[in-house]
Chains A and B, each alone.
Chain A
Amino acid sequence: MKNSAYYKTKNILINLVIYLFLISVAITCLFPLLWMVSSSLKTQEMVFKNMSLIPKELHFENYYLALKEGEFGRYFLNSIFYTVSVVIGIVIVASLAAYAFSRFEFPGRNLIFYIFMAAMMIPIPGSFVALYVLLNKLHLRNTALGYILCMINVGLSTSIFLLKTFFDKMPKELEDAARIDGCSKLGIWWYVALPLATPVLAVVVVFNALNVWNEYILALIIFDSRHLMPLQVALQQNFQGEFITRYPLLMAGLTITALPIIIVYLLMQKYIVKGVTQGAVVG
């Protein structure tokens, strides 16, 4: 009896330590974000003096100022536009290719597929220099189209891999039935294969959306005009200069940038976990 009581206390103690550990790390993850929101609601004067997490008064006008004076409304719309365009582009282009790699026979099929896969694993840290030169030549630098095409390319290999893996496991009966009914290849891809691939398409959409929204370096070298910049670059450019000491405005800008990502993440976290573990297998 004494023995079992000993083990019981020991177990409770171990559990206590584990919980303390997990909870303290969780607080470390959340606190900087809460501090960001808190600072964004203080006045320029209070933000340097009042160190409490809950502000005495809530100054939402910082958000108004950031959106209007800092032009974050425009940058926000730019980011939305790039994200949506790139994701639509990737879904169409990658799923067409992945479907062909999985279902059709044609000379060079495996070679092309492996080249795509190799591209996923070879890092080329200087590629943005060459991309800059290329876009200049094509007169696509400082244009939305140039940026969108570059970003479609960035997400292509991984998306093709995820989609092809899924198509390979998907039963072919429905597609066969559609073919017998006289449906074209393109029709089967659109009406049969894509709807069946919804689970993996969700992973592709969420991952690429996060990736485009958070992208920085290509946007930095491609855009000169402020009115074309997405949030990440605009944040860095704006607050390196004139806004640097206006912390409440900066924090409001950061909150505007982070909030959509956090919301999408919380809604779609099931797919993100799936994508991380599947994507890791590739690497």
Chain B
Amino acid sequence: MKFKSTLENYLFVLPAVTIFIIFYIIPFIWVFQLGMHEWDGILPTKTFVGLDNFKEIFLQDKIWWQSMLNAGYITLIALTFQNALAFLLAWACDREIRMKNWFRVIFFIPPVLSEVVVGFVWQWILNGHYGLLNYWLVKLGFAHLARNWLSDPNTALTTVAVIHSWKGFGWGFLIFLAGLQTIPRELYEAARVDGANAWHSFRKITMPLMIPVIVLVAILTILGTMQAFVLIIAMTGGGPAYHTQVPVLRILASMRGSSRFGYACAQGITFGVILVLISFIQYRFSKRARV
């Protein structure tokens, strides 16, 4: 009887576990196996090459590290510009204002749209010849600023980073707002009675209490932005000349472009380890900051 009941309990988790093993655990293991092979994805035989793929990544693959730097640059802009904007908006909304719900609804529209849609719409607005942005720049007398935003090597990466921030700030905004709303109003009241001005209460009450939330948003931003690539496919395709290449695009190119499945997996492992290290360091750092 007991045995039968336990068996029944397992049946409840069986579908989830089966799907999870087939589509998560097995690919996970295969990534590591394939990473040590040279394989074109078609031939029945794979050549074992040990750590050669990793050697190549670390010693020869300049474009890979360039793409890592590019992703780092986009992430830096997302961490500063995007998150500062999100925080300011949340702070501005965390009071008795009219249309508060409207703002909340509108700010989260870019995040619910797909990266393909966002990428194509902005590509059209930023188009060098017929785009609306250049049209307005010329009209308002800033013709010298007008350029081919996405195919000019000087501006392509920054433009992509700004559009990425446009798409993403709504996430941070919602999380920051939820965090701000948990701070008891009495704290601000008490501070005001004691003669603190707005800047003081912001620095002495809001900031310290928000640090865990800020760290959380920072980690989510780093993990999300480093791995972003669909927006880039839709906007620049990685060009001009590798200027907007990012790691996941390189993995995709190794797999589909040069048919090197093993190398693609090795790139994936390298990238995954770097991501885990970053979030681990940040987590440790945030723990120390809180004490």
Contact = CB atoms under 8 A, between A and B. Distances in A.
Nearest to B275: A123
Nearest to B120: A254
A201 interface: no
Place the interface of chain A in its size category: 35 or more
Contact of B171 (A105, A107, A131, A276): A276
A236 B121 CA distance: 12
B114 A261 contact: yes
B116 A262 contact: no
B106 A235 contact: no
B149 interface: no
Chain B CB count within 10 A is highest, among A29, A33, A276, for A29
Interface stretch (A14-22, A63-71, A168-176): A14-22
B205 interface: no
B30 A134 contact: yes
B124 A257 contact: no
Given A32-B122, A262-B112, A129 B31 contact: yes
A93 B16 contact: yes
Chain A CB count within 10 A is highest, among B116, B166, B230, B265, for B116
A-side interface mostly: helix
B20 A100 contact: no
A223 interface: no
B47 to A, nearest CB: 16
Place the interface of chain B in its size category: 35 or more
B268 interface: yes
B89 A283 contact: no
A13 interface: no
B112 A257 contact: no
Interface in A101-117: 101, 104-107, 112, 115-116
A125 B125 contact: no
A127 B92 CA distance: 41
Contact of A35 (B24, B125, B220): B125
A180 interface: no
Interface of A: 15, 18-19, 21-22, 25-26, 28-30, 32-33, 35-36, 39, 47-48, 51, 92-94, 96-97, 99-101, 104-107, 112, 115-116, 119, 122-134, 149-150, 152-153, 156, 160, 185, 189, 210, 213-214, 216-217, 221, 232, 235-236, 239-240, 247, 250-251, 254, 257-258, 261-262, 265-266, 269, 272-273, 276-277, 280, 283
Interface of B: 6, 8-10, 12-13, 15-17, 19-20, 22-24, 26-28, 30-31, 34-35, 41, 85, 88-89, 92-93, 97, 102-110, 112-118, 120-122, 124-125, 130, 132, 135, 166, 171, 174-175, 178, 216-217, 219-220, 223, 227, 229-230, 233-234, 237, 247-248, 251-252, 255-256, 261, 264-265, 267-269, 271-272, 275-276
Given A29-B166, A124-B268, 8 more contacts: A26-B106, A48-B130, A96-B12, A97-B17, A125-B271, A132-B255, A150-B23, A236-B234
